[in-house]
């Protein structure tokens, strides 16, 4: 079995004491590839350092996470756009909209997101998209920008069946993570009705650890629990789920 964690932040300081062991545990748990989305200006160096240390089992993305869009976002984006020129990035992420905590930078978030969607189109790169409390605005922007050139993952998807269908119709993949294993997550109920060809797996480590590790620091090795839960819901062997989601991820990111 070979799994791909399509969204993990193991360069985060929460792994500073056992980062190498975290990667080893991932490899031992059949997670052979970890995709690292960027967060803000301060995470680029640790992310690249980790990739340099483990070039065979990690890949990097570049983008500004919506919760980190502040007054200086234009300067940060200019720096990141320059950074993208080095061609080592396999995707634009993580980008998106997050109106959960506050709306102070709503306008700036919308602008930053549109700018980064344009990068993805120009560079022909897939996106890793974060969306929280922003479904309507997200869809409006994606509909406006989708000209056949946008593709990517709605990361940590936890929405309704109708929302899933909207994203799939827009050409996007759904990234399923630890939340899918939680009792109150409705995705399990309609998952059997969706086509598997645009489902990918992720941890979003260090956040949102799956059952039975819920509440702990999440890490890529825990992806097996999410994979097993989804395979159980679909009543297929976990090896089959792994094969399909890994193939989906490889095709999307040209791995």
- Provide, rounded to whole angstroms, the least separation between the CB of residue 212 and Zn ion: 22
Binding flags for Zn ion, 192-211, as an x/- string (CB under 5 A) = ------------x-------
Residues 70-109 that bind Zn ion (CB under 5 A): 94
Residues 125-154 that bind Zn ion (CB under 5 A): none
- Provide, rounded to whole angstroms, the least separation between the CB of residue 6 and Zn ion: 10
CB closer to Zn ion out of 5 and 94: 94
CB closer to Zn ion out of 93 and 199: 93
- Contact of 178 with 224, CB cutoff 8 Å: no
- Provide, rounded to whole angstroms, the least separation between the CB of residue 220 and Zn ion: 13
- Please work out the total of residues on this chain that contact Zn ion, with binding judged by CB under 5 A: 2
CB closer to Zn ion out of 62 and 234: 62
CB closer to Zn ion out of 68 and 94: 94
**Rule CB under 5 A: which residues touch Zn ion?**
94, 204
């Amino acid at each position: 079995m070979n799994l791909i964690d399509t969204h993990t932040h193991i360069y985060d300081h929460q792994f500073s004491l056992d980062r190498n062991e975290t990667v080893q545990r991932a490899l031992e748990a059949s997670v052979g590839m970890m995709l690292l989305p960027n967060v803000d200006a301060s995470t680029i160096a640790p992310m690249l350092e980790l990739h340099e240390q483990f070039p065979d089992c990690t890949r990097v993305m570049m983008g500004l996470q919506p919760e980190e869009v502040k007054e200086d976002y234009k300067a940060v984006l200019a720096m990141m756009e320059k950074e993208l020129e080095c061609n080592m990035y396999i995707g634009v992420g993580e980008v998106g909209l997050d109106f959960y905590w506050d709306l102070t930078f709503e306008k700036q978030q919308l602008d930053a997101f549109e700018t980064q969607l344009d990068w993805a189109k120009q560079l022909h790169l897939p996106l890793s998209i974060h969306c929280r409390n922003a479904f309507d605005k997200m869809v409006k922007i994606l509909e406006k920008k989708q000209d056949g050139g946008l593709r990517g993952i709605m990361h940590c998807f936890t929405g309704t069946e109708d929302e899933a269908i909207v994203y799939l119709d827009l050409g996007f993949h759904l990234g399923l993570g630890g939340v899918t294993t939680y009792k109150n997550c409705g995705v399990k109920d309609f998952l059997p009705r969706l086509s598997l060809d645009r489902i990918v797996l992720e941890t979003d480590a260090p956040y949102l650890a799956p059952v039975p590790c819920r509440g702990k620091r999440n890490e890529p090795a825990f992806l097996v629990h999410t994979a097993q839960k989804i395979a159980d819901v679909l009543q297929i062997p976990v090896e089959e789920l792994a094969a399909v989601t890994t193939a989906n991820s490889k095709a999307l990111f040209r791995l």
